[in-house]
Structure 1
Amino acid sequence: MTEQVMAAIDGSTFSEGVCDYAAWASQALEAPLTFLHVVDNHPQTAEADLSGHIGLGAREHLLEELAQLDERRARVAREQGRLMLEAARERAIEGGVAEPGTRQRNGTLVETLEELQEEMRLLVIGKRGERAHQDSGHLGSNLERVVRSLRRPILMVPQRFKAPERVMIAFDGSQTARKGVEMLARSPLFEGIPVHVVIVGAETGDNRAQLDWALETLRGAGHEAEGAIRAGEVEATLRAYKEENAIDLLVMGAYGHSRIRQLLVGSTTTAMLRRARVPVLLLR
């Protein structure tokens, strides 16, 4: 089975960014691109129980009309999704992707992605979905569940595409972070892009050795790489470094060493995701 870049699109303002970053990743990785739209037929609000207020015959008639209404809504949702998929496909072709594919599934987004993850090399998804207010500081609930459930790399993207020119990886010497450096070093996704490695902590011999290992690994693979060890609060320090060095793509492990490990993601990763205005690649 050929692993592919899979892009989850909906009717949100993030869909164009998802399309463009997915096209960029597909070409850089030389991997097939598939756009996915999931029609969630679960009712968004609970139906009122009217059985105590109307006669049996009237209630049966009402339930029949409700069922017909649900079916019409489902048909409209499927047609809207088909049009979105076709528009995404055309946009990707204009962006240079040879033969992007499309898939439409019924169900929930999280369950569908869990079923399809063995086919994924990379999942591209927007920070929030179509039902989330775009000014919200909270991650979309779907994204939270996707990050918690999937074992594949996830590229969370903003609304507008910008080809990455400088990448930063938040590094703590953990197994996940070391795997991230090794993946980044060999991935064609970052070929020719300078990489910054940042450790937040004290200037100790161990931290310096960890940083030297990361830089040697990246430079050994042909990357231009530089690093820094900075003291301070983790999220604020990483954010300041990102802004000072015009970083336009972050790479982070989805879990850290803290007791928050059993929750959605490490607390620092969650904070960075909420405030991110650039793409964030989450590694598992």
Structure 2
Amino acid sequence: MTHVMACIDGSASSTAVCDFAAWASTRLGAPLNLLHVIDRSLYPQKGDLSGNIGLGSREHLLEQLAALDEQRGKLAFEQGQLMLSAAKERVMASGIATVALQQRHGDLADTLHELEADIRLLVIGKQGDASPSAGQPMGSQLESVIRSLHRPILVTPNIFSAPQSLMLAFDASATTHKGVEMLAASPLFKGLPIHLVMVGPDVASNWQPLEHAASVLAGAGFEVHKALVQGDVEPALHEYQASHGVDLLVMGAYGHSRIREFLVGSTTTSMIRTSASPLLLLR
């Protein structure tokens, strides 16, 4: 069975990640899995020093360094266990009955790619434990995760508030058409009003796909507010979201360009960096 996967790393966003993951798990009726990945680059596993025989005092120094790395790795493992235990207590206090815990050693994006088949929704903080609150508003590993994972990703801010409305940034691409179908079929946002917003000229060729998408969502029982707004994409979406009090943004992770099949779309990256609300990325 696929589950909601929450990435726990001890950063300022981890508490909100727990709360959003518990909220999503309840709404989806899906089991919850808490994951902590020990970064291989920061905590390497014990190395093989057999190739250093004959280096004299340098060999002894390397052995001491290896022992230190091993000790640091053990401490990181124990710290991760404590974080996972605290996270489990928090989500169970919110009503989640069963929680699975996983701890891995390696690269976060690679680990999630290996686990992808079992993930229904990934919940991850906007800022990781290596990202200061100022100067680096997006976690250093987040972009790699978005590129590698072909599952919906909920990127959370540092404070949890249960979403009461959402906005789908619609651009008539295959990704957003699929996103409309996903939203219509998923229980995640059932009962919440959806604002379907497209940025572009006020012409019939834009209204036609917008009207069709709105009819699909309305047919699934959603209250739909559709809008065609002008201006640059990012500020226009932010302005609409703020003026209508929408507290969750949904958008595709990629644009039309083939180059963006390999790189996160520039609009997507910028929206993640500047958005103060949770953002659901569709793949």
**Smaller-chain TM-score range?**
over 0.9
Q: Is the 8 A contact 2:165 2:246 kept in 1?
A: yes
* Alignment correspondent of 2:47: none
Matched, 1:99 2:72: no
1:139 Cα deviation from its structure 2 partner = 2.3
1:266 Cα deviation from its structure 2 partner = 1.5
- What residue identity is the alignment partner of 1:156? V
Q: Is the 8 A contact 1:147 1:264 kept in 2?
A: no
* Alignment correspondent of 2:149: 150
Deviations along 1:215-256, one digit per CA (max 9) or x if unpaired, are 111110000111100111111100100100111111000111
- What residue identity is the alignment partner of 1:173? A
Deviations along 1:49-91, one digit per CA (max 9) or x if unpaired, are xxxxxx9321111111101101100000000000000000000
* Alignment correspondent of 2:140: 141
Number of aligned residue pairs: 274
Q: Is the 8 A contact 2:167 2:250 kept in 1?
A: yes
Matched, 1:34 2:33: yes
- What residue identity is the alignment partner of 1:193? L
* Alignment correspondent of 2:175: 176
| 3-state SS of paired residue (1:156) | strand
* Alignment correspondent of 1:222: 221
1:260 Cα deviation from its structure 2 partner = 5.1
Q: Return the alpha-carbon distance in structure 2 between the equivalents of residues 153 and 262 of structure 1.
A: 16
* Alignment correspondent of 1:202: 201
| 3-state SS of paired residue (1:190) | coil
Matched, 1:9 2:8: yes
1:39 Cα deviation from its structure 2 partner = 1.1
Matched, 1:70 2:76: no
1:267 Cα deviation from its structure 2 partner = 1.5
**Structure 1 residue ranges without an equivalent (≥5):** 46-54
Deviations along 1:153-205, one digit per CA (max 9) or x if unpaired, are 10000111100011000001111000101111121100111000001001111
Q: Is the 8 A contact 2:196 2:210 kept in 1?
A: yes
Matched, 1:19 2:18: yes
* Alignment correspondent of 1:113: 112
Q: Return the alpha-carbon distance in structure 2 between the equivalents of residues 258 and 64 of structure 1.
A: 51
Pairing of 1:51-90 with structure 2 (within 5 A): 56-90=55-89
Q: Is the 8 A contact 2:163 2:248 kept in 1?
A: yes
Q: Return the alpha-carbon distance in structure 2 between the equivalents of residues 83 and 223 of structure 1.
A: 41
1:264 Cα deviation from its structure 2 partner = 2.5
Matched, 1:188 2:187: yes
| 3-state SS of paired residue (2:33) | strand
Pairing of 1:254-265 with structure 2 (within 5 A): 254-258=253-257, 261-265=260-264
Identity percentage of aligned residues: 54
1:257 Cα deviation from its structure 2 partner = 1.6
1:141 Cα deviation from its structure 2 partner = 2.1
Distance 1:114 1:259, change over 3 A: closer
| 3-state SS of paired residue (1:161) | coil
What is the Cα-based RMSD across aligned positions, in Å?
1.5
TM-score norm. by structure 1 comes to: 0.93
